[in-house]
Amino acid sequence: MTTAIGIDVGGTGIKGGRVDLATGELVSERIKYPTPEGGHPGDVLDAVEQILGDLDSGPDDHTGVCFPAVVTHGVTRSAANVSADWIDFPATSTFGESLGRDVHFVNDADAAGVAEAQYGAAAGVPGLVIVLTLGTGIGSAFLMNGQLVPNTELGHMELDGVDAEKRASNAAREREGLDFETWGRRVNRFLRHVEKLFSPDLFLIGGGVSKEHEEFFPFFDVSTEVKPAALLNNAGIVGAAYLAGNSLLD
């Protein structure tokens, strides 16, 4: 069995597991630690080391890390909901040297999108699939005939004078105590705008809240087909492992 390690670094938790690359399934326990206060790179590195130890992972394991920022050539370029220390931080080389193995970084929504294309709801779908993850922020992944176009960052598209994610993320729903109808209509406005600009063939909605899609999908009014993502909480882990295992990063 060919496996790789996937780690998903988020604002509140850092999760990891070993993934069977043939099926996209976790073949280990899913390890989770809270993100250290402040989310600074050195502390995140310690948590990742701990997870690799818990997974009995050795230096030969392909290891992918997904992270909520733009990542180009192994360097994290932005920090919307994380420590500003990550801006222009050489994540791939710093983590690789400290952990004594090849480590590869990728944007979290891009990892989730790749997982959907390989093993989930975007598998075999021709044309343009836009995956949107509704969490602390809004992440986006563009898949053209299954091929990722990275770092699209649609959550920062301006809508009503602010970043779309400030009003339509799941965190905005919780922060403002919105019911699913009010929030669903906000997400719909965002989808309509994205649809107008990119004319996708399919929208996939991910993030933990997609488990409750029946509560808010009825308030969508778009011409594009909309489906929930299939991999839910493990999408980032699985996509990061797939990309690292197939040497598709950097």
Name the site residues for ligand BGC (rule: CB under 6 A).
Answer: 68-70, 78, 80-81, 107-109, 133, 135, 137, 139, 153, 155-156, 165
CB of 124 vs ligand BGC, minimal distance in Å = 24
Given the complex with ligand BGC, which of 121 and 141 has the nearer CB atom? 141
Contact 164, 133 (CB under 8 A): no
Which lies closer to ligand BGC via its Cβ, residue 133 or residue 188?
A: 133
Which residue lies nearer to ligand BGC by CB, 3 or 83? 83
Work out how close the CB of 66 gets to ligand BGC at its nearest, in angstroms, rounded to a whole number.
9
Q: Closest distance between ligand BGC and the C-beta of residue 229, in Å?
A: 13
Residue in the shown chain whose Cβ atom is closest to ligand BGC: 137
Q: In the chain, which ranges are continuous DSSP H helix?
A: 41-54, 91-99, 108-119, 164-168, 170-176, 180-198, 213-216, 235-245
Burial class for 106, CB neighbours closer than 10 Å (0-12, 13-18, 19+):
buried
Question: Which of 171, 202 has the CB closer to ligand BGC?
Answer: 171
Assign 3-class secondary structure to 162-210: EEHHHHHCHHHHHHHCCCHHHHHHHHHHHHHHHHHHHCCCEEEEECHHH
- Minimum CB separation of residue 125 from ligand BGC in Å reads 21
Least distance to ligand BGC from the beta carbon of 46, Å? 21
Element (H, E) at 15: strand 13-20
Nearer to ligand BGC by Cβ, of 3 and 169: the residue is 169
The Cα 213–Cα 236 span in angstroms is 19
